[in-house]
Amino acid sequence: MTDVTLAELMIVAASEAWRDNGEVLASGITTIPRLGASLAKLTHSPELLMTDSEAFLVSEPVPLGPRGDYKPRYEGYMSFDRVFECVWGGKRHAMIGPTQIDRWGQTNLSAVGDYAKPKSAVLGVRGLPGNSICHINSLFVPNHGPRVFVGGEVDMVSGVGYKPERWGPGMKRDYVDLRLIVTDLCVLDFGGPDHAIRVKSLHPGVGFEQVQAATGFPLLQAEGMGETPLPTAEQLAIIRRLDPHNLRGAVLKNNPPARKAA
Amino acid sequence: MALDKQLSAAAAVAQLRSGMTLGIGGWGPRRKPMSLVREILRSDLKDLTVVSYGGPDVGMLCAAGKVKKLVFPFVTLDAIPLEPYYRKARESGAIEVMELDEGMYEWGLRAAGMRMSFLPTRVGLATDVLAKNPSIKTIASPYADGEVYVAMPALKLDAALLHVNEADRLGNTLVCGADTFFDHLYARAAGHCYVSTEVLRERFELDAETAKLNPFERYLVTGVVHAPGGAHPTYMGPDYGWDMEHFKRYNASAGEEGGWRQYVEEFVAPGEAEYLARVGGAEKISKLKLPVF
């Protein structure tokens, strides 16, 4: 399978985030996380709930882009109002791509630089404070580098993490549950001491030192750190059916192959 | 008739004052009361506190220098993720901000509508939302658990601006899109609520199924403005989609010398009838494809 792309490998890696989550709303935000959630529902985790990315629950993941005569298979309703209720009740696993991530899993989607006069105003904190303190979250990084994985704290903590000093007496952090970070170099988890970030698997042709050099804080190696698996033929067929316009091919610069040419 | 609440956009905006706190309904580039926003752009209102799940409403009011303070969880045009004029205002330090989680923001509107000073939530703890907004306090549960919560303060609005699919002269409204967002909470949180509408009826005579599309009571509505195409260029389901070409044009203007002034001269200054003509007319707006998500 020489024509497998890195984006497709990342979709498969992302889909693993939703394995054994039970009946929760799977929210993959932007192309690769959404395809990952869709693949999870169509393969190992049919119990997941998904929306049409607007306001309705669907029993089958909706393909991306113009759908031709495809009719979504509605099974219920999930307006923004209901999504918030779902968030607060904890029955959700979202995967989003923040602008910055730090060693404690704290995320920033608000502003880079000085808060009063930022170098870059991004979207705003959006739902990150609520998502991160209420339910399972995973993260997506299409450009693994030290500007994303920052050395100190993120510039504006939008999503909470495991930094003890951030939590005052009486604040409940029991529901904080960070799972995977899927990047264009590797898959990370929070399985180290005190939730320290570890490399769980390296994408084909990527070395640990390369990942470490692209990360602003020290990384651990998970026991049995291996290679991120390539998609199977079945997974590839599903991905291609879900993304008939190849939007996944536009996520990573030059749409590189899963295994770099030697 | 005493219960005829119809008025022109100019008359509605004439009831607003500089320094007011205005809530703007919709969500990002979806069902925004843009004809009312354009009327504010034509007015001499200033120093506004704008409360919005922000889209081009926020960008345009920032570009025009109308905004003193922005209360918001995000500003985006969705397909164009970064709103260009919001960024300019934010990065130059031209506006004060109260940046909130989407749910905290909802809680603030809800508290105002319930005439509460605050509502408790876990959301916002351990983030810089609290650090950057020292006016937001925490509170301990008085029960055995003793858990510490954010006491999300009420977001009281002087006025709310909303856009709906249908209304009648009494102020009854229908919202027919797939998602009604949080417009009902703005109506409840506001001292006065001005609704612009695609279709204006004398008096509703609805069947029960259609009546379920009524998002809030008419006693909340101060004025009704008839504004077909009034959400353009935002998404007004199921009537019309967003105008991507127009958004691209608007976005590009932010990168051009004098771009905002040109945009205003071309689209805003000539008035709403001319606006609709220049963006292609009612017929073209009605054919804007609904977005596929």
Most A CBs within 10 Å: which of B123, B137, B183, as the mutation test of the A interface? B123
Indicate yes or no: CB of A121 within 8 angstroms of CB of B87: yes
Q: Could you tell me the pLDDT band of residue B129, with boundaries at 50, 70 and 90?
A: very high
The count of other CB atoms within 10 Å of the CB of residue A67 is: 13
**Residue pLDDT, tens place only, B236-278:** 999 999 999 999 999 999 999 999 999 999 999 999 999 999 9
Chain B residues in contact with A71 by the CB 8 A cut-off are none
pLDDT digits (tens, 9 = 90+) for B2-24: 689 999 999 999 999 999 999 99
Facing B93 at nearest CB: one of A66, A117, A175: A117
B55 to chain A, closest Cα gap in Å: 11
Give the pLDDT band of residue B98 (cuts 50, 70, 90).
very high
**pLDDT at B18 (0 to 100):** 98
pLDDT (tens digit per residue) in A236-257: 999 999 999 999 999 999 999 9
Is the CB of B127 less than 8 angstroms away from the CB of A159?
Answer: yes
B156-170 pLDDT tens trace = 999 999 999 999 999
Q: Indicate the pLDDT class of residue B132, thresholds 50, 70 and 90.
A: very high
Residue-level pLDDT at A3: 87
Cβ-nearest to B292 among A65, A125, A163: A65
Does the CB of A247 have a partner CB in chain B at under 8 Å? no
Which phi and psi angles does B223 have, rounded to 5°?
-145, 150
- Could you report the predicted ipTM of this complex, rounded to two decimals? 0.96
B273 in contact with chain A, both atoms CB, cutoff 8 A: no
**Chain B within 8 Å of A87 (Cβ-Cβ)?**
yes
Q: Is the pLDDT of residue A203 over 80?
A: yes
Cis peptide before B233 (omega within 30 of 0): yes
pLDDT bin (cut points 50, 70, 90) of residue A262 is low
**Closest Cα in chain B, distance from residue A115 (Å):** 9
Tell me how close the Cα of B231 comes to any Cα of chain A, in angstroms.
Answer: 18
Q: Which candidate from B104, B132, B148 shows the least CB-CB separation from A171?
A: B148
Chain A residues inside the 8 Å CB shell of B86: 121
Compute the average pLDDT of residues A186-203.
98
109-128 of A, contacting B, C-beta below 8 A: 110-111, 115-128
* Residue A206: per-residue pLDDT: 97
**Chain B, nearest residue to A62 by Cα:** B293
Q: How high is the pLDDT of residue B3?
A: 85
The beta-carbon neighbor of B74 closest among A88, A124, A170 is A124
Over the Cα atoms of chain B, what is R_g? 19
Look at residues B266, B260, B231 and name the one whose alpha carbon lies nearest to residue B88: B260
CB-CB neighbours of A31 under 10 Å: 20
Residue range A140-150, pLDDT digits in tens? 999 999 999 99
How far is A35 from A37, CA to CA, in rounded Å?
5
Per-residue confidence band for B194, with pLDDT thresholds at 50, 70 and 90: very high
